Structure 1
Amino acid sequence: MKSLPWILVCLLVCVVVWMRCNPHDPQTMYVKGDTIRVRDTIVDIVLMPVKETLKRTDTVYLPILIDTTTYRTVEGDSVPVIIPITSKEYKNDNYRAVVSGYKPSLDFMEVYREKEIITLKPKQKRWGLGLQVGYGYPGGLYVGGGVSYNLFMW
Structure 2
Amino acid sequence: MTIAGQEARSWDAGGWDGRWTKTKRETFLDHLSMTGDVASAAAAAGVPVMAAYAKRRREAGFAAAWQMAAAGAYERLEAAIVAQVLGGGSGIDLKTAMLLLAQRPAPVAPPARPRDDRREAAAALLKQLRAQAKRGGTPEPA
Answer yes or no: same fold by TM over 0.5. no
Where on the TM-score scale, by shorter chain, does this alignment land: which range? under 0.3
Higher strand share: 1
Q: Which has the higher contact order (CA 8 A, sep 6+)?
A: 1
The structure with the largest alpha-carbon Rg is 1
Higher helix share: 2
Q: What is the TM-score when the length of structure 2 is the normalising length?
A: 0.22
